[in-house]
């Protein structure tokens, strides 16, 4: 009978069961998001203005002549980004869009792999299909493919930058960051991390690459100066549509300007404390935790207090989410993940029965998600700081005595004061 049990009840570990379940589901999700939802597209088409700008650039026509009073997607990339995006117009619009979707989907799979490897797991582990499943379950990834925009490559550049920075390939770390900055400056706050970590060489390539591309593109474009005089001012306006920043939501819902300013100041203050605490206690003891969490704090704060924050920017928070596997991560609490649901869930709250309530939830969910995520991270770190101060204050003074080298407190001993 014991021999029969071997065949009737074969033993399979959870580490084998999870990939068995998630690999086929994840592969089908990638195909469905790219081949069906992506190709189907949406009323919002971010690729159309990019293609038009690239076509005009290649044919010596004006690029920045749009009417910014409309709510349609606009072309907002600088001349350096136009130069990089110009090859898409070599093909006709439909083929170019399909190719862009395919390459974006491949880039997103590559991002899932890089994130898995960055946190110390192999491609053959249960983590890779789990990360892939989470990626393609989110609205931020789905809409990047549906709207057909550049954000998959921004995330790819961010992960490459972080991995190279951790491995001290400083000049190379600035290359992917510089290429993304040449198109979209959304990752510019991450330059602060290179400064704080005294990796100055990162700045050389991160700044030189977009500057060089701008120097090449400027004389080629027929209306490059219009980016400065027309497009740049529009970028700094807090528009009241498709904008999940505090200012954008405030403009849409008619929030008093003083309250908008107060909220922005409050979130900046939370970010300053969080960045200081992470720098003080984790930069030299757990660099991966410091880098992944600090990048998330910087970006969430930028999305909230800047002039423009769009829901699909949330994909740049995946390193922060992945930090949950690390001891000491401020993501180990349920309010943080409720915030993640708000800014990433592929769920719609439009309601035929409760129209006004559903409309408010749907339009505000990303802003509230970012806000709750930031508050949860801040509170987690603040409580640790208060615990550390309390422990230090209440400790009874003892007479100093020589401490043998073997008894010297280690970084792990010091971090044991910090509650998970």
pLDDT 10s digits, 36-58: 999 999 988 999 999 999 999 99
Domain holding 275, by residue range, is 237-392+409-420
**What backbone torsions phi and psi does residue 197 show, to the nearest 5 degrees?**
-90, 5
Q: Which positions ≥6 away from 49 have C-beta within 8 Å?
A: 66, 72, 73, 74, 75
Give the angle 120-122-125 at the CA atoms, nearest 5°: 115
**CB-CB neighbours of 118 under 10 Å:** 18
Residues of the chain falling short of pLDDT 70: 1-2, 395-420
Classify residue 2: in a domain, yes or no.
no
State the residue for tokens 């189907």.
40
Classify residue 267: in a domain, yes or no.
yes
Contact 147, 42 (CB under 8 A): yes
* Cα→Cα distances 45→51, 73, 271, 335, 397, Å: 11, 7, 33, 33, 66
pLDDT at residue number 401: 45
Q: What's the structural domain count of the chain?
A: 1
Q: Which positions ≥6 away from 14 have C-beta within 8 Å?
A: 126
Classify residue 377: in a domain, yes or no.
yes
Token reading at 234: 């529009």
Classify residue 125: in a domain, yes or no.
no
Give the angle 87-90-91 at the CA atoms, nearest 5°: 120
Q: In angstroms, rounded to a whole number, what is the distance separating the alpha carbons of residues 293 and 335?
A: 16
User: N- to C-terminal Cα distance for the chain?
Assistant: 47
pLDDT digits (tens, 9 = 90+) for 242-263: 889 999 999 998 999 999 999 9
pLDDT at residue number 405: 38
Classify residue 243: in a domain, yes or no.
yes
Classify residue 268: in a domain, yes or no.
yes
Instruction: Please report the DSSP string for 6-63 in residue order.
Output: HHHS----HHHHHHHHHHHHHHHHHHIIIIIIIHH--S--SHHHHHHHHHHHHTT--S
For residue 352, what is the DSSP state?
Answer: S
Contact 204, 171 (CB under 8 A): yes
**Axis-axis angle for helices 246-253, 257-282 (nearest 10):** 160
Classify residue 372: in a domain, yes or no.
yes
Exposed, middle or buried: residue 271 (CB in 10 Å: 0-12, 13-18, 19+)?
buried
Q: Where are the alpha helices (DSSP H) in 345-399?
A: 355-394
pLDDT at residue number 240: 80
To the nearest 10°, report the CA torsion of 216, 181, 166, 127.
-120
Contact 105, 146 (CB under 8 A): no
Classify residue 33: in a domain, yes or no.
no
pLDDT at residue number 43: 87
pTM for this one? 0.90
């Amino acid at each position: 009978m014991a021999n029969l049990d071997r065949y009737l009840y074969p033993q399979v570990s959870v580490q084998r069961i999870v990939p068995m379940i998630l690999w086929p589901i994840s592969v089908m999700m990638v195909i469905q998001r790219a081949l069906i939802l992506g190709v189907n597209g949406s009323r919002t088409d971010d690729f159309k203005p990019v293609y038009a700008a690239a076509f005009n650039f290649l044919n010596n026509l004006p690029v920045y002549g749009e009417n910014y009073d409309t709510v349609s997607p606009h072309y907002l990339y600088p001349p350096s980004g136009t130069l990089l995006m110009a090859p898409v117009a070599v093909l006709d619009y439909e083929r170019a869009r399909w190719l862009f979707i395919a390459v974006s989907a491949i880039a997103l799979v590559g991002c899932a792999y890089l994130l898995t490897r960055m946190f110390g797991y192999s491609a053959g582990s249960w983590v890779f299909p789990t990360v892939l499943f989470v990626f393609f379950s989110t609205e931020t990834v789905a809409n990047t493919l549906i709207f057909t925009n550049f954000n998959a490559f921004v995330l790819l550049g961010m992960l490459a930058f972080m991995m190279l920075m951790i491995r001290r390939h400083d000049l190379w770390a600035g290359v992917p960051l510089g290429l993304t900055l040449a198109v979209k400056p959304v990752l510019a706050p991450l330059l602060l991390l290179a400064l704080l970590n005294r990796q100055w060489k990162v700045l050389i390539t991160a700044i030189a690459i977009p500057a060089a591309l701008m120097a090449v593109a400027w004389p080629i474009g027929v209306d490059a100066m219009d980016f400065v005089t027309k497009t740049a001012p529009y970028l700094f306006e807090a528009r009241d549509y498709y904008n999940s920043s505090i200012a954008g939501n405030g403009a849409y819902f008619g929030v008093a300007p003083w309250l908008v300013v107060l909220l922005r100041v409050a979130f900046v203050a939370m970010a300053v404390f969080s960045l200081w605490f992470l720098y003080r206690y984790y930069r030299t003891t757990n660099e991966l935790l410091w880098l992944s969490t600090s990048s998330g704090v910087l970006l969430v704060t930028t999305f909230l207090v800047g002039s423009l924050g769009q829901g699909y920017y949330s994909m740049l928070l995946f390193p922060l989410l992945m930090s949950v596997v690390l001891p000491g991560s401020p993501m180990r609490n349920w309010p943080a993940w409720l915030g993640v649901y708000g800014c990433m869930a592929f769920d719609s709250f439009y309601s035929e029965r409760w129209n006004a309530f559903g409309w408010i939830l749907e339009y505000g969910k990303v802003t509230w998600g970012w806000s709750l995520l930031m508050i949860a991270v801040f509170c987690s770190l603040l409580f640790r700081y208060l615990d550390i101060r309390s422990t230090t204050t209440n400790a009874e003074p003892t007479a100093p005595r020589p401490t043998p080298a073997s008894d010297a407190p280690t970084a792990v001993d010091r971090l044991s004061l910090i509650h998970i």
